[in-house]
Structure formats: C-alpha cells, structure tokens
A and B are shown apart, each in its own frame.
Chain A
C-alpha cells in the first residue's frame, strides 16, 4: 500500500532545500519596523483617553445630540420653559464629559451662547415657568467658563475671577418706575 507519511517525508527532504530561501536581512528589519510602526498607530487608547462604561454612555448621548438633527433641535428648539430642557442640559453635560482641550472650550462657548439666547427668550417671556432652571444653568456656566479674553487695544484683557463675574441674566426691576418721570 502506498504510504503517505513516507512520501511526505521524502518530499519534505527534497523541498528542505528551500530552507535556504530566506528574506534579505535588511529588508526584513525594515518590514519589522513598518509592522511595529503600524501597530503603534493602531494601539488602543489607554489612560485618560480610555472611556469607561459611564463615559461610553455619555459619548453615545453626545453623539446623539450632535448628530445633524440633534444639533438643530437642542440649539434652537428647547427653551427653559420646555419639559425637555433638563434633557438638553444633561446631554450638554455628557458632551462635556467626553471632550477635552480645544473641543471642550469650543463646546463651553457654544453652550454659553445658548444660555444667552435662553436669557433673551426669558426676558421676553417674563412669566415663563423655566426661569429658575435657566438662572441655575447660567450660574453653573459662569462657574465653569471664564469669560473670553477681550482684545480692546490689542492686549489680552486680564479676566476677573469667575466668582466675581456677575451673571448677565436680565433682572426684573424691583421698583416700579415713577409715574410721569
């Protein structure tokens, strides 16, 4: 009977001459460096850039907010008197959790503009039920975001400490205007 093992061993012996077929050492070293470099670019995030479970959820929420429809909805539609306002604020907080650096500063400035728009809205609708919520949001914002530097004479104006910064929330005048004045 024909024995495969025997034939295989013989063929291995003959093709054993191929063992001398090796890649050029210099080329092999170069390829190794390329492989390791490629791996460096694909390395999974570690340390502060690694998202834990809570941050992943926040990231998903932020992705939802900043997906095309979400931006328009969150930016223009929901005002403090809306029942959806707390959701909008939660999503903003989630977005701030998952961003850092320039992106975070940009978001804070965008949210600052929203607070301003909300303040304008409430000044026109003085009896709006969300007034206290909006005031809280503005106060939180001023605790977190330093005012942008003002370049009047070309120099960057030194900002005041954030605690001294007065909220620009429109105040209802307590004293009624004198008649005839």
Chain B
C-alpha cells in the first residue's frame, strides 16, 4: 500500500470483510493508533484496551465506510479519539494525559519517558488547551494532514491551522520557560 489508490482498493476489500485486506490495514495502522492513544493516556494497559476497542469497532463499521475527502485515516483516528473520550467519560476520576504517571514510574504498566527533552515537550503539550492539544497530537503523533485533522475534529481547516499555530507558540513558550528555570 504505497498510494491512496492502492489503499482505497484494500479498504474496499476490507469493507467486504476479506481477511487479507483487513490484516493489511491492521498492520499499517496498529502502531500509529497505539502511539496516538499511548500519548493521550500514558498507560500501556489502558492504551492496549482502547486500541483493541478501536480496531474491533473498525471491523464492525468498515462495511459502512464511504470514501470522502479525507479518507480512511481520518475515519479510523476519529474512532480512536472517540474511544479515548469514552474511556475517560466512563472513568471520571482518571486524569487524561498524565505525564506524572510516567515521571514517577507508577507501576509496571506506566510508560516511562527517559528522554528529558521528550518529557518536557510532552509536558508542554499536556498543558495546552484541549482543542490545541488535539490538533497538535493528530498532526504530530498521528501524522495526519490538516485536512484529515479537520475531519477527525469536525472543524474547518482554517481552524486547524489556527489552533496548531497557537499550540506551537504555547509549546515553544513553555519550553523556553523550562530552559530558563534550569
């Protein structure tokens, strides 16, 4: 699957529940989806649970998928994002995007970030407003285009660019501040 046309054919076959096509899609997306969810929940066990829900839901709904504009990536990541939101809605006591878990290495399932620069960047992302954080994570971690991000978040492309700009400015400011403190 190197281009959109090829992906479209594979998705069409997957929509007919052809096993080899579904396997190809799974292989293509599992790491990206898992990484995106991991960054949001910062716990391996929870990330695995939500990733599993995402792919199982994908299989259930792929028959009704219509190829419009942003394509399959946006559709799949919208499922992933909604699953993360649902997970936190069911557990109001849990705190999303908790970098403290990682820093304190609380339990074997916590994802430990040893790279200091990465940890600081993630902390800066965590401190963003929710809509800015959504855009930054989808554009940077999920590797989505502006158009795809707009579809996932159901906002305009102009809004995506604006939110990304503000998010990046805030991250840069936060990182500068952290460097100044050190």
Contacts and interface: CB of A to CB of B under 8 A. Distances in A.
Contacts of A17: 113, 115, 117-118
A27 interface: yes
Nearest to B20: A36
Interface residues of B, number: 42
B78 interface: no
A34 B56 contact: yes
Contacts of A36: 19, 22-23, 26
Contacts of B111: 21
A18 B52 contact: no
* Interface of A, helix, strand, loop or mixed by DSSP: helix
A15 B27 CA distance: 22
Interface in A14-53: 14-15, 17-19, 21-24, 27-28, 31-32, 34-36, 38-40, 42-44
Interface in B136-179: 136, 139-141, 161, 164-165, 168-169, 171-172
B99 to A, nearest CB: 13
Contacts of B94: none
Contacts of A14: 117-118, 121
Contacts of B74: none
B17 A44 contact: yes
Contacts, number: 95
Contacts of B56: 34-35, 38
* Interface of B, helix, strand, loop or mixed by DSSP: helix
A17 B136 CA distance: 16
A39 B19 contact: yes
B35 A22 contact: yes
Interface stretch (A4-12, A110-118, A167-175): A4-12
Contacts of B44: 24
A39 B25 CA distance: 13
B130 interface: no
Q: Closest 4 interchain pairs by CB?
A: A17-B118, A43-B17, A7-B168, A14-B121
22 contacts: A2-B165, A4-B164, A4-B168, A7-B171, A11-B140, A15-B121, A15-B141, A18-B38, A19-B35, A22-B35, A23-B34, A24-B44, A31-B26, A32-B23, A32-B26, A32-B27, A35-B59, A38-B60, A39-B19, A40-B19, A43-B17, A44-B16
Interface of B: 16-17, 19, 22-23, 26-27, 30-31, 34-35, 38-39, 44, 47-48, 51-52, 55-56, 58-60, 63, 111, 113, 115, 117-118, 121-122, 136, 139-141, 161, 164-165, 168-169, 171-172
